[in-house]
A and B are shown apart, each in its own frame.
Chain A
Amino acid sequence: MSAEPNVRTLTINGEEISARSDQSILEAAREHNVEIPTLCHLEGLSEVGACRLCLVEVKGARRLLPACVTQVAEGMEVTTHSPKIDRYRTMILEMYFAERNHVCSVCVANGNCELQDLSLKLGMTHVEIPYQYPQLPVDASHPRFTVDHNRCVLCTRCVRVCSEIEGANTWGVMGRGAQSLVITDLKQPWGDSETCTSCGKCVQVCPTGALFEKTSVGNKTRKHPEFLPYLRIMREGEQP
């Protein structure tokens, strides 16, 4: 980092805090133990602002702002929780559950799933909107890993880690709208992919049971995405 970053003072939920000027609201909040739910965000990867769970109220802003990509500013007044925001977040979670086939009881990630954790944390007890039950494929052609599109939340963490950290660019997104799918190469079976290095980073960063190791049985899949920030430090000598 070239110049000494400036310090900004802002309030989050009425509490005055200070943050570096290059920090996002999310970073500043987490540093001060204020929890903002996220799904597509992962420390060590670029931000896409797609899951919309980290939306917060900023006084003076016309719309809710995603905390992950909004930089802190002097005098900013941020509200991370309100009845309205909580309602929106629950509804967004419901949309996640309803759009694909998330059946926790038979999922390898049961108990270790970020989507499941979020629903517990936000108190989403049931899904009111109708389930879509799409017919989606499972690709188990790779010798070590499986992708089950029924459990994918399209956070694109796999796409980003493959491009930004591994540099293989195996993963991509095809289709649009509800028909979007994460794919390997040009939708070849994962096992036939010529670019995949079988490094398994995508599996580790996947928040749900969409990507899993074949060796995982029942609900014993613990994922370890925490390697990312350390990998970054070691590669770039960058402070996390």
Chain B
Amino acid sequence: MNTEELQQIAAGGQEERDKFDYEVNVCMGTSCLSQHSDRIRDAIAKEAEACGKKCQVRRTGCMGPCAAGPMILVEPAGKLYGHVREGDAKDIVEALGGEPVARLDPELGSYFEGQNFVVLENVGHIDPEKIDEYIARGGYQALLKALTEMNPASVIEQISKSGLRGRGGGGYPTGLKWDTVAKVKGAQKYVICNGDEGDPGAFMDRSVLESDPQRVIEGMAIAAYAIGASKGYIYVRAEYPLAVQRLTMALREARRRGFLGNSICETQFNFDIDIRLGAGAFVCGEETALIASIEGKRGTPRPRPPYPAVSGLWADPTLINNVETFANVPPIIRHGGEWFSSMGTARSKGTKVFALTGKIQRTGLVEVPMGMTLRQIIFGIGGGVPDGRKFKAVQTGGPSGGCMPEEHLDLSISYDALISAGSMMGSGGMIVMDDTSCMVSVARFFMEFCMTESCGKCVPCRAGTVQMFELLTKITKGEATHRDLDRLTELCEVVGATSLCGLGQTAPNPVLSTLRYFKHEYLAHIDEKRCPAGVCELSPAAVEVHA
């Protein structure tokens, strides 16, 4: 593969597109597919054929506004339709080239205002199972550029310059990580893509893998070239069957086009990728547990150091990054590190994909530049809290993160700002809660999650989460005392300070953050034996004693 061939494929794709007057892009991400968007696509294709319009009906990945699904994007008009049903096919086809169908307007308001698509630049425009459509939109130019015009050091330099930080939650500088693995000596090195997204309410990585799998593969190949690896693994949850299916297809296509395998793009560079399926353990998102799982061992973390960069998969130097991190790599190489670092804040560059869920008008996948405020995301893009209810808190970072109250709504999104507010960036789940949510119950929910997902290796996490969960249960039942609250706080400190891996170390965060901002709710359960949100079922005995 060389530049001319790449351009030829791209031109071929364009020629193919030019044959049609219209494009109807039907979202076939997991969310829309669950509402039978595949049948809608077939119905539209049939209608188009029947009426003789030159119309290309394409399957695409998630377009973002999942709440308005199934979604359809009509080009060249750029018109979005929402809540489409099979019976709407005729009207949609008839409206091509004329007035759009008014009743299918998704009413997205300011959903796209302020969003900036880098990772999601192709969604809605390409078929995730066709590599040539990815190439037609500039795909694999970055890999070709890296292999033919850049040496590994200059690739790493661009990544460092971009200021990209790990999108899995930790926020470790990606360039520094690559540089470390590149400098460690080793005959065999590995690149691992962490797709074990497990935070409740998070679906960013799933969407990226389902909508644009080639982008992740290209990012991994560039990383492999930069650090000198010849073998890669994508570790993806078995609970994401569509992502696995599209990835499998994408890997085969990439091999067919010669972007994986031996002598890639007629250079000395060899690289191939295998898929490994997670068996449903949250802890396998922790890098050392993930590596153990790939090795076929029990998925438990081990103490670091040594870090995977030095001793990772089969004790060889290993680079492990998140799906979204790799997805950011091709555009950085294409446009240069400076372009990327022009977006975002001083210490958090670029954009971040968030999965906006919970009590919010427009649930969906959004990509915003770092530095945008929570208010802009929740009330601008998300449309605020529905049913006239009052906003109460926003939870980020999954079970490792925390809940932030209304006074933090003007916080600019960045790794450091979220940590100082008692939460964290996490992988990008953003759960909005209104005044019908009880914050003690929320903390209890996340503690239950950590308790059942603890691997059981170290005692603070194994036994401490059980103790904390029981104390929180006691509080929600109105049976707790102030002594219990003190003990809960003490357990938070000990479990956080002494646990072996990130799961246990951050497990107290939902409790700590709700104690910080919503202590009055805890006290209402304890002192007044009532749940301010009316969620908790207090034990009658406790209430009686109090009365």
CB neighbours (8 Å) of B505 from chain A are 63
| Closest chain B residue to A99, Cβ basis | B463
CB distance from B272 to the nearest CB of A (A): 31
Q: Which of B455-498 contact A (CB under 8 A)?
A: 455-460, 462-467, 470, 487, 490-491, 494, 497-498
Which of chain B's residues have a CB closer than 8 A to the CB of A50?
457-459, 500
User: Are A88 and B464 interface neighbours, CB within 8 A?
Assistant: no
| A64 in contact (CB, < 8 A) | yes
A111, B251: Cα distance in complex, Å: 61
Q: Is B303 an interface residue (CB 8 A)?
A: yes
Chain B proximity mask over A156-178: 1 for CB below 8 Å, otherwise 0:
00000000000000001101111
Q: Quick check: is B454 within 8 A (CB to CB) of the other chain?
A: yes
C-alpha spacing A177/B281, complex, angstroms: 11
Q: How far is the CB of A131 from chain B (nearest CB, A)?
A: 10
Give A87 to B494 CA distance when docked, in angstroms.
Answer: 9
A96 an interface residue at 8 Å Cβ cutoff? yes
**Given contacts A177-B453, A178-B456, A66 and B303 within 8 Å (CB-CB):** yes
Q: Does B85 lie at the interface of the complex (its beta carbon under 8 Å from any beta carbon of A)?
A: no
The chain B residue with its CB closest to the CB of A181 is B456
Contact of A178 among B451, B458, B491 (CB under 8 A): B451
B514: interface (CB < 8 Å): no
**A135-146, CB under 8 A of B: which get 1 and which 0?**
000000000000
B499 part of interface (Cβ distance < 8 Å): yes
Q: Which residue of B lies closest to A97 (CB)?
A: B463
Q: Are B460 and A95 in contact (CB under 8 A)?
A: yes
Q: Does A96 contact B458, Cβ atoms closer than 8 Å?
A: no
Question: Is B456 a contact of A173 with CB atoms below 8 Å?
Answer: yes
B154 at the interface (CB under 8 A from A): no
Contact A179 B460 (CB under 8 A): no
Say whether B463 contacts A176, CB under 8 Å. Answer: no
- A52 in contact (CB, < 8 A): yes
Chain A residues lying within 8 Å of B494, measured Cβ to Cβ, are 87-88, 91-92
Q: Is A76 an interface residue (CB 8 A)?
A: no
Residue pair A175, B456 in contact (C-beta under 8 Å) = yes
What is the bound-complex CA distance between A7 and B469, given in angstroms? 47
Question: Chain B residues near A202 (CB, 8 Å)?
Answer: none
Highest count of chain B CB atoms <10 Å: which of A48, A63, A176: A176
CB neighbours (8 Å) of A118 from chain B are none
B466 touches A49 (CB 8 A): no
In contact, A52 and B459 (Cβ under 8 angstroms): yes
A-B pairs with beta carbons under 8 A, tally: 93
Is the CB of A14 closer than 8 A to any CB of chain B? no
Give bound CA distance, A107 to B298, whole Å: 31
A99 touches B298 (CB 8 A): no
Given the complex, which residues of B lie within 8 Å of A98, measured CB to CB? 463, 467
Docked-complex contact A49 and B459, CB < 8 angstroms: no
| A49, B465: Cβ atoms closer than 8 Å | no
Asked if B53 is at the interface (CB within 8 A of a chain A CB), the reply is: no
B302 contacts chain A at the CB level, 8 A cutoff: yes
Q: Tell me whether B459 and A48 are in contact (CB under 8 A).
A: no
The B contact surface, by secondary structure, is helix
CB of A49 within 8 A of CB of B303, answer yes
Distance to closest chain B CB from A6 (angstroms): 18
A156 to chain B, nearest CB (A): 8
> What residue of chain A has the Cβ atom nearest to residue B469's Cβ?
A178
Q: Encode A54-92 as 1/0 by CB contact (under 8 A) with B.
A: 010000000110100100000000000000000110011
Q: Is B267 in the interface zone, CB < 8 Å from A?
A: no
Q: Is B342 an interface residue (CB 8 A)?
A: no
Contact assessment for A154 and B456 in the assembled complex, using a CB-CB cutoff below 8 Å: yes
Q: B452 at interface (Cβ–Cβ under 8 A)?
A: yes
- Would B453 and A52 count as touching, CB distance under 8 A? no
In whole angstroms, how far apart are the Cα atoms of A88 and B302 in the complex?
21
Shortest distance from the beta carbon of A151 to any chain B beta carbon, whole Å:
15
Chain A residues with CB under 8 Å of B302's CB are 48-49
* Residues of chain A lying within 8 A (CB to CB) of residue B465: 177
Q: Which residues of B contact A64 (CB under 8 A)?
A: 497-498
Residue of A92, A98, A128 contacting most chain B CB atoms (<10 Å): A92
The answer to whether B455 and A176 touch across the interface, beta carbons within 8 angstroms, is yes
Q: Is residue A33 contacting chain B, with contact meaning CB distance below 8 A? A: no
Chain A residues with CB under 8 Å of B462's CB are 99, 154, 177-178, 180
CA distance A128 to B498 in the complex (A): 19
Whole-angstrom distance between the alpha carbons of A52 and B505 in the complex?
12
Q: A177 contacts B455, CB within 8 Å?
A: yes
The answer to whether B457 touches A48, judged by C-beta atoms less than 8 angstroms apart, is yes
Per the bound structure, the CA–CA distance linking A175 and B303 in Å amounts to 21
Q: Are A52 and B499 in contact (CB under 8 A)?
A: yes
Q: Are A176 and B453 in contact (CB under 8 A)?
A: yes
Tell me if A123 counts as interface (CB < 8 A to partner B): no
B residues near A128, Cβ cutoff 8 Å: 487
Closest to B454 in A: A177
State whether A51 and B303 are in contact (beta carbons under 8 Å apart), knowing that A98-B467, A173-B298 are contacts in the complex.
Answer: no
Taking a contact as CB atoms under 8 Å apart, the answer to whether A92 and B456 are in contact is no
The answer on a CB contact under 8 Å between A178 and B463 is: yes
Please, which residue of chain B has its CB at the minimum distance from the CB of A128?
B487
Would A95 and B470 count as touching, CB distance under 8 A?
Answer: no
User: CA of A176 to CA of B293 in the docked complex: distance in angstroms?
Assistant: 14
Cα of A191 to Cα of B259 in the assembled complex, Å: 54
CA distance A128 to B484 in the complex (A): 11
Q: Flag if A92 contacts B460 (CB, 8 Å).
A: yes
CB distance from A54 to the nearest CB of B (A): 11
Whole-angstrom distance between the Cβ of B172 and the nearest chain A Cβ: 13
CB within 8 Å for A178 and B466 given contacts A92-B459, A96-B459, A128-B487: yes
A132 at the interface (CB under 8 A from B): yes
Does any Cβ of B come within 8 Å of A130's Cβ?
Answer: yes
Complex alpha-carbon distance, A173 and B82, angstroms: 50
The residue on B at minimum CB distance from A65 is B303
**How many angstroms from the CA of A220 to the CA of B467 in the assembled complex?**
34
Q: Which residues of A contact B281 (CB under 8 A)?
A: 176
Residue on B nearest A69 in the bound complex, by CB: B303
Q: Is A129 an interface residue (CB 8 A)?
A: yes
List the B residue with the shortest CB-CB distance to A130. B470
Mask for B40-65, Cβ within 8 A of A = 1, else 0? 00000000000000000000000000
Q: How far is the CB of A76 from chain B (nearest CB, A)?
A: 14
In contact, B464 and A95 (Cβ under 8 angstroms): yes
Are A49 and B498 interface neighbours, CB within 8 A?
A: no
Bound form: Cα–Cα A17–B44 in Å: 79
Query: CB distance A92 to B467 under 8 Å?
Result: no
Q: Which residues of B contact A180 (CB under 8 A)?
A: 455-456, 462
CA gap between A214 and B463 in the complex, in Å:
30
Give the Cβ gap from A189 to chain B, nearest Cβ, in Å: 22
Residues A81-135 near B (CB distance < 8 A)? 87-88, 91-92, 95-96, 98-99, 128-130, 132
* Assembly CA distance A153 to B281 (angstroms): 22
A91 to B495, CA, bound (A): 10
For the complex of A and B, 5 pairs with smallest distance between CB atoms: A180-B456, A95-B463, A49-B303, A177-B454, A99-B463
Extra A-B contacts (9), CB below 8 Å, given A48-B457, A176-B281? A63-B505, A92-B498, A95-B459, A95-B464, A98-B467, A128-B487, A132-B463, A154-B459, A173-B456
Please, could you name 9 A-B residue pairs with CB atoms under 8 Å apart, sorted by A?
A66-B500, A69-B303, A92-B460, A129-B491, A173-B456, A176-B283, A176-B456, A177-B453, A179-B456
